[in-house]
Amino acid sequence: MSTHLLTWLNGQLLPTNQACIPVNDHGLLYGDGVFEGIRFYRRRAFRLQRHLQRLALSARVIALEIPYSTEELEAVIERLIEAFADDYGYIRLMVTRGAGPLGLNPKSCSQPNVIAIADQLTMIELGQQVGARLIVSSVRRLPADGLDPRIKSLNYLNHILAKIEANHAGADEAILLNAQGRVAEGTADNVFIVRDGCLLTPPCSEGALEGITRELVLQLARDNGIETREQSLGVYDLYAADECFLTGTGAEMIPVASIDCRSMPGCPGPVFGQLQQAFRRAIDQECGGII
């Protein structure tokens, strides 16, 4: 079987439109589950160990037992990539609470469902070439004492509301602030700015996911002699930045052209350019090829 839109579901490889889970799965009813988005290049998953680690931690924190070991999940991903029609693509790995009674209590849910969908990446059209137009959303990131941002759960509704606001404004992406009005992250990406040659990004404690791309970009910056700081940022810092860019597995690295109609002086700026090259080299090293 070699096709686009391929799914591994609880041990079986299926065309995605034939992969079914019960409608009373609590993943669907309540967003009760965790997930990862994983890219592969030249049929090799990028940063797979880090993704599986984060999935395991997210699951542990929401008291969800994944019925497969990390090694087994690694083999699942490899098998799915092997069967996929393309050398390059994206995998959505999900573990849901499983089917259960309509009430939200997870205690009577049956087995978790483990799902891995492989697809081509058509989802990223954020202006990788020309730069993304951003808005600062009026939708605030859920506070960490409500839902810790380190949990990559299926509950993305406040990010979706921010994205709707961006769509409505004719923008490509929205930045969410935390309850204190400090910069948290994008709807599916982390935010960086450059000021006076220094690379700045908010600490995850401000309400950002501990992005795997974010972690790599910070490392690459240090390796390349670029000063980096994780520090709290406000809207002023975004507007007044020399450069701004987004990072994420799906997004990779996307330069920002404007924020709330304020044009960025550099798009793509020199620090972005340097880091993007280093990022491509890192992919090359790990996976042996990037388009």
Q: If binding means CB under 6 A, how many residues of this protein chain bind ligand PMP?
A: 14
Residues 150-169 that bind ligand PMP (CB under 6 A): 159
What minimum distance in Å lies between the beta carbon of 247 and ligand PMP? 6
Q: Would you say 185 or 206 has its CB closer to ligand PMP?
A: 185
What minimum distance in Å lies between the beta carbon of 119 and ligand PMP? 15
Residue 189: CA count within 13 A, CB half-sphere: 26
Q: Would you say 46 or 99 has its CB closer to ligand PMP?
A: 46
Catalytic: 152?
yes
Catalytic member of 26, 97, 141, 152: 152
Burial of 185 (0-12, 13-18, 19+ CB in 10 A): buried
Is 126 near ligand PMP (CB under 6 A)?
no
Which two structure tokens, joined as six digits, stand for 252? 């990779």
What minimum distance in Å lies between the beta carbon of 163 and ligand PMP? 11
- Non-local (6+) Cβ contacts of 71 within 8 A are none
Q: Would you say 213 or 258 has its CB closer to ligand PMP?
A: 213
**Measured distance CA(124)–CA(291) in Å, rounded:** 15
Residue 159 CA, distance from chain mean position? 12
Residues 186-245 that bind ligand PMP (CB under 6 A): 188-190, 209, 211-214
Q: Which ranges of the chain does DSSP label H, i.e. alpha helix?
A: 26-30, 48-61, 70-83, 157-168, 212-223, 235-239, 270-287
Q: Would you say 83 or 121 has its CB closer to ligand PMP?
A: 121
- Alpha-carbon Rg for the chain, nearest whole angstrom, is 19
**Measured distance CA(18)–CA(25) in Å, rounded:** 17
Q: Would you say 175 or 226 has its CB closer to ligand PMP?
A: 175
**Measured distance CA(51)–CA(171) in Å, rounded:** 29
What minimum distance in Å lies between the beta carbon of 102 and ligand PMP? 28
Residues 30-49 that bind ligand PMP (CB under 6 A): 37
**Terminal Cα-to-Cα distance of the chain (whole angstroms):** 24
**Measured distance CA(81)–CA(72) in Å, rounded:** 14
Q: Would you say 248 or 269 has its CB closer to ligand PMP?
A: 248
Which residue of 100, 202, 248, 255 would you call a contact of ligand PMP, by CB under 6 A? Answer: 248
Q: What is the DSSP letter of 275?
A: H
Q: Which residue has the tokens 């990028």?
A: 46
> Which are the catalytic amino acids?
152
**Contact positions vs ligand PMP (CB under 6 A):** 37, 159, 185, 188-190, 209, 211-214, 247-249
